[in-house]
Amino acid sequence: MSDVAPKANRRWIVVPWAILILAVAGWSAWWMVSAREVGNRMDEQAKSLREKGYAVSWKTRSIGGYPFRYFVQLREAQIGVPDGWGLSAPKLDAETSALTPGIVVLVAPQGVTLSRPGKPALTVTGEVLRMSLGGLDRTPPRISIEGKGLRLAAAGGGEITFPAIDRFEARLAPADAGKASLFFRIDKATPRADSLLARVAGAAAVTVDVEGTLSQASGLTGTGPDSALVNWLTAGGKFEVTQGGMALGETTLFSLKPSAVGADQDGRLTGKLRLSTGKAGEAMVALGEVSVLPPETAAVASGIGDGSQVLTALIGEASITLQFHDGQAWAGPLALGPAPRVFTPPEPTAPE
């Protein structure tokens, strides 16, 4: 009889660790290859966009985020579209999941400069400036923008409606029946000190929000914001308002009711915008200041004694239907002036 004890089988300890090590090594190798592919795709897409007339560049790029994400950091990033719009940022961070890369989150921690056709460039800084993009294979894609503690300044001292905004939100997403949902909110904004809106608001912060749907959403295509807007409106697209309004501090200035607006072939606003208010004159000033009504409307409201009382007496209270047709804007029987121009139609091509 042997006195030597049989050796213990330790395979049950070694095998799981060996599998784990192989899995980690395999995932690490896959992540490094896929991260390199992320960089290659960015280079290819940038080259393709440049060939189409876009301006795309960055000074440096780094890719990290191991093990479950891709984190791309760009320095001195710039992108410009043929329409004349452009965006530049000293630092731009992009993040997406390595497992489900369908959603990309962009963050500009040092702010952005927005180039605008025909207007001074706009610098935007804040505590938070973030955009989320998803469903890029759909029209329109899913877009969400969020800003907190924003400060806005135009180059050359240009005028800004709201130089300071406590919180900003905008969301666009595909919906059923060929539509898209839209939500927009400016929360606790400070109007420009010398503006008529500041005169109406006094020391109160301004909150503006609107929610609704865009019909004919598949028409939102183009080489930039302007061309997408023109293509959508000329295809018969309308903005169907569900709710919204404007508040001064805790006081509601006006509330939007279900209605719809579009644009005619000359690019001027058409349709109806229904709202309720107890202060018609102040509401007209506010709508003129945010370009929903002609700018001269705000001037009329403030130019004849207490213009707010004048317009309230002419239009009435409680409910107002703003109508836009034949190139003109109307509030009940009162002509407000030319309907706002949503876009400028292209010049007709001369025959050869």
Q: What pLDDT score does 349 carry?
A: 53
Percent helix, strand, coil in the chain (nearest 5)?
25, 40, 30
The pLDDT of 335-343, averaged and rounded, is 87
Contact status, residue 70 vs residue 80, Cβ threshold 8 Å? no
Query: What are the residue ranges spanned by the domains of the chain?
Result: 16-111, 118-352
| Six token digits for residue 132 | 């989320």
Which single residue is written with the structure tokens 């183009």? 222
Which residues lie below 8 Å from residue 280, measured CB to CB, with a gap of 6+? 308, 311, 312, 315, 316, 317, 320, 331
Distance between CA 212 and CA 184 in Å, rounded? 9
**Alpha helix segments (H runs only) across 77-219:** 196-201
Distance between CA 340 and CA 273 in Å, rounded? 13
Q: How far is CA 58 from CA 62, 85, 214, 275, 328, in A?
A: 11, 17, 34, 46, 46
User: Looking at residue 109, what DSSP letter applies?
Assistant: T
The pLDDT of 207-228, averaged and rounded, is 94
Q: The whole model's pTM is what? A: 0.86
The DSSP bridge partners found for residue 134 are: 103, 142
Distance between CA 75 and CA 57 in Å, rounded? 10
Q: What pLDDT score does 334 carry?
A: 77
User: Looking at residue 155, what DSSP letter applies?
Assistant: G
Confidence check: pLDDT of 303 > 50: no
Which single residue is written with the structure tokens 């002609």? 294
Q: What is the pLDDT of residues 173-187, one digit of tens each?
A: 999 989 999 999 999
**Measured CA angle at 207 (ends 201, 213), to 5 deg:** 135
Q: What pLDDT score does 130 carry?
A: 97
Q: What is the pLDDT of residues 143-159, one digit of tens each?
A: 999 999 999 999 888 88
The pLDDT of 225-230, averaged and rounded, is 91
Contact status, residue 79 vs residue 94, Cβ threshold 8 Å? no
Contact status, residue 165 vs residue 187, Cβ threshold 8 Å? yes
Higher pLDDT, 125 or 333: 125
Q: What pLDDT score does 105 carry?
A: 96
**DSSP letter string over 112-133?**
EEEEETTEEEEEEE-SEEEEEE
| Six token digits for residue 237 | 């697209």
Query: Taking all residues of the chain, what is their mean pLDDT, rounded to a whole number?
Result: 87
pLDDT class of 347 with cuts at 50, 70, 90 = low
Q: What is the pLDDT of residues 17-34, one digit of tens each?
A: 777 788 778 888 888 999
